[in-house]
Every structure is written in C-alpha cells, then in structure tokens.
Structure 1
Amino acid sequence: MAFENPVIVFGIGLVVVVALLVWLRVPAFIGLIIATVVVGAATAEVPLADVPAETAGGFGETMTSVGIPILMAAVIGKTMMESGAAERIVRWFQSFTPDDKSYLALGGASGVLAIPVFFDNVFFLLAPLARSMRARTGRDYALFITIVGAAGVTAHGFVPPTPGPLAVALELGVDLGATILVGIAVALPTVFVSGVLYGKWINSRLDVPLRETMGSSVERVEELADRPTSKLPGVFEAALPIILAVMLIASNTTVDSLIDVGFLVEGGVADTVSSFVGDANIALTAAALAAAITYLRWESLEREVWSDELVDSLQSGGHIAAITAAGGAFGGMLAASGIGDFIATTLEGLGIPLLAAGFVIAATIRIAQGSATVALLTAAGIVAPLVGDLTVHPVYMVMAIGAGGTIFSWYNDSGFWIVKEIGGLTQEETFKIWTALTTIVSIAGFAVTFIMSQLFPMA
C-alpha cells in the first residue's frame, strides 16, 4: 500500500529503521537497506517496480562521493596510527598546550581545516589524532571526539568558503566578506558551548574506551603512546598526509574564489589543474600514499607484509563505506517521497518571524531527509524572495539557515555513520556525542545569531 502523504512515509521509515537497528540489532548496512526498500514501497512518489533501482541508485550516488575518500581515509588512519605519525603530532600539539587543555589543539585544527575541507574529510584526518591522544592520556576520548566534531561542523555550517554557507550567501545575494566575518563571530561562542562545555559535560558521564577501528588495535595504539619521541617520525613527515590533503583541496577552493572575483578565468590552466588535484578522491589518495610510505619507512616492513596491512585497512574501510552509502540511500529515498517539499510548503505559510522561519525550515528538512546541503539550499530558495522584508542584515538569515541545517544528525545522515565507524563508537555513544552535539550546535548557533542581530542589526 502506497501513501501520498510523505509524513506517513517518514513515520513508517522512522519506525522501521529504529526497530531494525535499535530493537532487533540488525547489522547497520542490512537494516538501512531494508528500511530504504520499505520507504520506497510505502511512498506513492516512487513506482513499486522502480524501488530496487532507486535504492541502488541512492546507494551508488553516496558511494560515488564517499567511497574512495573513506577507503583512503582507512589507509591514512591505520598507517598514521601504526607508524607513530599520529602519536608524534599529538605530542607536538601538547607541547603548546597544558595537559588539561590539549583538547583545544584538536578543536583549533578541526575548525581551521573544516573551512576549506569538507567535514567528513576533516574527521577522517583528525580521528587518528583523537585516538592517539586518548591512548596517551588514558582519558577524555568523548571530549576529544566532541571538540573535533563541534569545531568542524560549526565551521562547516557558518563560514564560507565552505560550500553550504557559500551557496546560501550567493542565493540570498549576501556579501561573502560579511558572511565570513559574521560566520566566525557566530562560530566561536557556538564551539565553546557545544565543544567545550558540552564536551566536558558528556565526557564526565561517558567513558568511551578505545576500540579497534580502521585496522588499528588498541594494544598497538597504547604501545606507541609509550614509545620514545626519537623512535617516531619527525613532525613534518608525520603531518605530511594532513598537509597534502588540506593544501590540495584548499587549492580548488582558492582558485574558485579567485575566479568568482575575476582574477582567474574559468576553464583556464589553474582551474583545470586545481579541479583535478583538489578533488577529494585525488587529494586523499595522495595523502594515503604519503602515510603509507611513512609507515613502510619507520616500521621497516617487508613489502608483502606492508601490502597485507594496507589491504586489511581497506577491508575495514569497505565496511564503513558500505554503511555510509546505505545511510545515504535511506536519506535519498525519504527525499524522493517528497518530505522536503511538503515541509517547506507547510512551514512557508505559518507566519513565523523570518529569521526563525529560515531556521525552522532548514532544521525540519534536515531531520526528515538527512542532507544538510539539501536543507540549506531548499530553505534558501524559499526565503530568498522574502529577504527584502528583513529588518536586519540578510547575513543573519544565512546564519539562521546554517544553524537549522546542522541539527540532529541521525540514521539518515551519512555523517552519523562516518563518526560512529571512524570514531569507534557504539550507536548509543554516537547519539549521545554526535547527535546531541549537532543539535546543540544548531540551537546555540541560532541563539547567537538572534542576539547578534538584535545588538548589531546592520540594516
């Protein structure tokens, strides 16, 4: 039986995915695929005969964007841990911060990297450092994961040239310079509330142990934490995978910005080269090669053993990629049911104050279908004709939409599964750390935006 009302379809999808993953403990990949098929069969928007193809298409679309990066991230994670590179970077960070404030170094790195680099890729690069820091200190893993997530997702939601706020600013015709400045002003207190205050609170109530993930055993991580610094790679060599990935991806962002302001020509040599090397598939492949070579050098492995170790990491990465793509398929099928358009149309006529309307529209669409990008762009398209009615600068609408699109990452968001699998968390821990965190980022970000709009309307 197919339903026209997408809210009913969403409710069915919610019940099925919770029943399979939480109550019956079905493996995440299988449960998400079954839930996707059930949603497809329940919606009148997708012909029953097309449900299998739509499911495979949603899976394939997500795998196209995350498959190679996740596999390469698995290689980076394992080899940076096993070579001692992650441990060396952690010790370098700690040389600049007191022991009890070492989490600030992780947060700072995550926030800065997330501006030119997608959050998923930032988490791939910094999760090994959080694991190594947990092994070295023997505590505070929930705090380390929270601060990395808070700084990264906040920068990703509010500060161009990150694609989401960049696209919203362009859609609303808001000056990018103003968006960057206000975005940073909103992001800083938001990170403090969500990353530091909530991070410390949840860390005091949730002791997350190190678990084997990305092919790296707990015993090995702890052994490296006790290794003398002289037996670890140098700081530059240890950080080279991160430096390579960030520089290559940032080159694409930088060239695009220069094209926008007329300094470079679209389709020119710089554009072509940066589009190639700045693609996440190429950038993370280069980073994986650098990390793997450091691993080979410092562990003096035979080539066959080295190759087997890389294959082992790819097997772990394949499992993570499959779960992430299945989550994307589930979100895609919910989107195909029309839930996003239904919510947007319903909320558009409720007479909510404009800033709040932008937030609520983006938040509701985000929760319903999972994609922050879709939520941001849909909300921007709805409120764009109304921007002239604002009594404050439209940059605050960009922030409000960014805050709404960040809220409540759960099963239908591929980011949920990336944080769970790469971070080595259980489903319950992921909800308590990541889902709660994204909700706090969203609410705190909107609160800061509203207060700033009243104090400095700039109208």
Structure 2
Amino acid sequence: MVATAPLVAFGIGIVAVVLFLVVWDVPTFIGLTLSALLVGTVNAMLFPGITAGEIPDSVATAFGDNMASVGIPILMAAVIGKSMTDSGAANRIVRTFQSFVSDRNADISLWVSSSLLSIPVFFDNVFYLMAPLARAMRARIGDNYTLYIVVVGGGGVAMHAFVPPTPGPLAVAQEIVPDQASSILGPTILIGLAVAIPAALISGILFGRFINQYIDIPLRDAMGTTVEDLEEQVAKSDSNLPSFAESVLPVVVAVAFIAASTAVNTLTAAYSIPALETVQPVTDYMGNVNLSLTLAAVIAALTYLRMDDFPRSVWEDELTDALRNGGNIAAITAAGGAFGAMLAEAGIGDVVASTLQNFGIGILVTAWLIAAIIRVAQGSVTVAMLTTGGIMAPQVSSMSVHPAYLVMAIGSGAVIFSWFNDSGFWIVKEIGGLTKAETLKTWTTLTTVLSFSSLVMILVYSTLLPDPFGFA
C-alpha cells in the first residue's frame, strides 16, 4: 500500500479540487484550502510518521510560506495596476507601442516586452507589470484580449524557463555539473535563447493568434480597476496623459533593481570579483522583489495622485480598494500553493522519478518526461526542475551531447500544463480577470504548447549540433 499511496493521494486531490472548484463552484480560496486539508488528511492515513493533528498546521505553514513569497508583490502589483491604469500611464505606454506597430500587430509589442523583461525578472513579477498594459491595449483596440494575455504569457514563461540568469535553469546547471557550473553558463544562455525564442513565438504569437479566433475573453473589472475606468482613459487626449518617461518609470525601476541584483549574484557565484562582492549587499537589498515592487508602486501611485488631482483622502480610498482586491488574489494564490505542497508531501515526485528513470528511452526525453509528470502532479516548476536535475545528474558523464541540452529538457518538461495546483495559474486568472475555464483554455494550453514545441527544438539542436561548445 505504501508504494501506491502517493498515487492514491494524488488521485483524491485531483477529484477534490475539480469537485470543489468546477462542479460545486465553491469560492476559490475555500475550495483550495479544503482540497489541501483533504490531501493532507489522506497523507496522514496512508503514511507512517504523519499524524492527523499536524495536518491543519502543515497546510497553514505551506499557505504562509507561499504568502511570504507572493503577498507583498501581489499587493504592490494591485497598486501598480490601479495607478497605471487610472492615471493614464498604461494608456500612454500602449499609445507609444502603437506608434511603432499597427493595431493588427499590437501583440508583437507586448510579446517583445514580456520576453525581454522575463530574462532578469521572475515571470510572476513581469505579469504584474504587463497585465495593466494588456488590459489597456484591449480597451484601446476593442478586442483581442485573449491574444494579448497569451503573448504576455508565452514570451515571459519561455525566457524565464530557459535563459539564465533566471533561477530555474541556473540552479539546474549548478546541480548537474556542480564542479563546472560556471563553464556551462555561457553555453546554457546561448542554447537557452536558441530554444526560447522560437518556442515563445510558437506558444505566444502563433498559438495566441490561433486561439484568439475561437475564444473572445471580455474585459472585466480586475485589480481594483473597472472596465469603465479603462474606457474613460482610452477617450482621453494625449495632453491629458502623463509623459512616456513618467509612465514607464515604475516598470523601469522594478526591472532595473531586480536585474542588477540578478546580474551581480550570477557573476559573483561564477567568478571572484571583489568590486561586485562589495556592492552585492546593496543590490540584494534594492533588488529584493518586495522592495523593488514597493518602490514601483509608490512611483505609480504618486503619478496617479498628480494626474487625477483629487483630495488625498479619495486617493487613499482608491489605493485601499486596490489593496483589498490584491489581498484576495494573494490569498487564492497562496492557497493554490498550499494545495500543491500537500500533493508534493505525498511523495508523488519520487514515485514518478523512480518509475521512469529505468525506462529505455533517450536521456533528454527521459528528463523531459520526469519533469513534466512531477510538474503536473505537484504544481511547482522549481520543484520539478530541481528534483529532475538531481535524478539526472549522474547521467551527465554518459551523455554525448552538451549538458546545456539537459538543462533545457528539464525546463521544457517543468513548464507543462499549469493548472489548479500551480500558484501561477491563479495569478494569471485573477490579475488578468479570467474565468477558470478561460485560464485553462489559454494559460494551461499555452504552457503545454510551449513544453512540446521547446522539446522539439531541443531534440533538433542536439541532433544537428550535439556538442557545439566542446564539453562532452
């Protein structure tokens, strides 16, 4: 029974979350919390060493850990979204984008922006910054909101999954070749870009334009901003909007601080550079997402106050309303993470890994498959990547291709099929103003398209150029 217990817990978890959220329409936070508690209780019944009395605290701890990670960023993202939208800043940025591309190709500007920002910045944080622009673009163009959400997601996730110095591929590279991690960093970046760019085009632009023909997602109230607010901003003349420099400043500040911290940490980990080690405490402080997004929120809020020119008490009430909406989103996101944590505690990842690593299929495909199943089972991209990296590390010495391809294969599998147990699913749903069904059709599908398309790229490259940098 112990051998099959993780599968039992996983199956019960899937049934529970579908019943609560899809069939019975239980409020999302309550449904996710109940599902997490149920999976935890099943774990206590099936596994020795886990007592039922510990389960509520375990769920609360997992919820708290997730809230510690996303709480302040989501609350500040709510302020940024409300302020940039109602001040006209998002509208100004969108109008500037449109001066370079036609309405027909407006998705390209969002795709490029999301892709570039996601190299130094976590995708979640990029989505916080890009969602107001996608909503403003939809309000201005009048349709294609499905397309805009998909291109932001496709570009951002691809770069974040495959291109160091984002933490996922960087950590896996260090895990599979710990003694030579710095030597494969450059090749991993180059191969990562070669995989990410075409995969992001397929999952973002091509899939986005395809699915946009069949799903029309309306613009809804979200993040404290109403549809009427957006439509009012679209009608304003250029003279009543903030300048482009002032409008984009919150995004620039957040990205600059986070990117500086990422770059310094990456370089100091690979090389001993005294000057960088000296400034590292400063960049760690300024680049912490809690601080950088707070500073961005303050800048955006001050622009909002200046442009609307209303009493401070009204301004305070408007921001408080945005925080109230952000708190609901943060709670749902953290509950989704807690549900995923309970599934992970059942040990489903170990069962999958031990079962698949003995199959006689290629190393790259094996790594992709292990990462994909662990990802679907417990929700976390990071857990799927690090677990698979640890499993596949002993195979590196027998590989005839560069280890960077293994990093790519693991990342490719780990991004597949984001659903209810992934906190990223709830971020996209709540901040984008989507229903659960719309999120499954767009976000979940695009992550699956990204996974398969990137795997094809990896297999093609590794066949044509197995060891372009002379490692194997």
What TM-score comes out, normalization by structure 2 length?
0.95
Question: Is contact 1:3–1:9 with CA below 8 Å preserved after alignment?
Answer: no
Equivalences, count: 459
1:163 is aligned, of 154, 167, 175, to: 167
Residues 81-92 of structure 1 correspond to what in structure 2 (within 5 A)? 81-92=85-96
- Where 2:79 maps in the other structure, the secondary structure is helix
Alignment pair present for 1:101 and 2:105: yes
Residues 281-296 of structure 1 correspond to what in structure 2 (within 5 A)? 281-296=290-305
- Partner Cα distance (1:264, 1:212) in 2: 49
Moved over 2 A (4+): 1-4, 260-269
1:345 is aligned, of 333, 350, 354, to: 354
Alignment pair present for 1:405 and 2:414: yes
- Partner Cα distance (2:390, 2:250) in 1: 38
- Partner Cα distance (1:95, 1:388) in 2: 52
Question: Is contact 1:366–1:375 with CA below 8 Å preserved after alignment?
Answer: yes
- Deviations 1:245-296 (CA, angstroms, capped at 9, x unpaired): 0011111101112312435349944111111111100000000000000000
Question: Is contact 1:255–1:264 with CA below 8 Å preserved after alignment?
Answer: no
1:97 maps to a residue whose letter is V
Aligned equivalent of 1:36 = 36
Residues 286-365 of structure 1 correspond to what in structure 2 (within 5 A)? 286-365=295-374
1:203 maps to a residue whose letter is N
Question: Is contact 2:268–2:276 with CA below 8 Å preserved after alignment?
Answer: no
- Deviations 1:336-390 (CA, angstroms, capped at 9, x unpaired): 1111111111111122210101100100100000000000011011011101111
Paired-residue identity, %: 53
Alignment pair present for 1:151 and 2:155: yes
Aligned equivalent of 1:68 = 72
Question: Is contact 2:84–2:90 with CA below 8 Å preserved after alignment?
Answer: yes
1:436 is aligned, of 424, 442, 445, to: 445
Q: CA deviation at 1:61?
A: 0.4
- Partner Cα distance (1:266, 1:431) in 2: 47
- Partner Cα distance (1:57, 1:112) in 2: 34
Question: Is contact 1:2–1:41 with CA below 8 Å preserved after alignment?
Answer: no
Aligned equivalent of 2:460 = 451
After superposition, the Cα gap between the structure-2 partners of 1:3 and 1:218, relative to the gap in structure 1 and judged at 3 Å, is: farther
With 172-181 and 234-243 compared, the bigger mean Cα shift is at: 172-181
1:377 is aligned, of 377, 386, 389, to: 386
What TM-score comes out, normalization by structure 1 length?
0.98
1:336 maps to a residue whose letter is E
2:224 maps to a residue whose letter is G
Aligned equivalent of 2:13 = 13
Alignment pair present for 1:220 and 2:229: yes
- Deviations 1:55-105 (CA, angstroms, capped at 9, x unpaired): 001100000000000000000000100000000000111111122111111
- Where 2:213 maps in the other structure, the secondary structure is helix
- Partner Cα distance (1:344, 1:64) in 2: 29
Residue ranges of structure 1 left out of the alignment (5+ in a row)? none
With 431-440 and 41-50 compared, the bigger mean Cα shift is at: 41-50
Alignment pair present for 1:206 and 2:248: no
- Partner Cα distance (1:2, 1:157) in 2: 34
Question: Is contact 1:259–1:266 with CA below 8 Å preserved after alignment?
Answer: no
Question: Is contact 2:264–2:276 with CA below 8 Å preserved after alignment?
Answer: no
> In angstroms, what is the RMSD of aligned CA positions?
1.4
Aligned equivalent of 2:430 = 421
2:263 is aligned, of 249, 254, 263, to: 254
Residue ranges of structure 2 left out of the alignment (5+ in a row)? none
Alignment pair present for 1:137 and 2:141: yes
1:405 maps to a residue whose letter is A
Question: Is contact 2:356–2:370 with CA below 8 Å preserved after alignment?
Answer: yes
- Partner Cα distance (2:219, 2:162) in 1: 31
Question: Is contact 1:3–1:42 with CA below 8 Å preserved after alignment?
Answer: no
Q: CA deviation at 1:300?
A: 0.3
- Partner Cα distance (1:454, 1:77) in 2: 45
After superposition, the Cα gap between the structure-2 partners of 1:330 and 1:267, relative to the gap in structure 1 and judged at 3 Å, is: farther
Question: Is contact 1:6–1:339 with CA below 8 Å preserved after alignment?
Answer: yes
Residues 225-244 of structure 1 correspond to what in structure 2 (within 5 A)? 225-244=234-253
- Where 1:436 maps in the other structure, the secondary structure is helix
1:81 maps to a residue whose letter is T
- Where 1:425 maps in the other structure, the secondary structure is coil
- Where 1:201 maps in the other structure, the secondary structure is helix
- Partner Cα distance (2:448, 2:271) in 1: 38
- Partner Cα distance (2:391, 2:318) in 1: 50
- Partner Cα distance (2:361, 2:340) in 1: 27
With 347-356 and 68-77 compared, the bigger mean Cα shift is at: 347-356
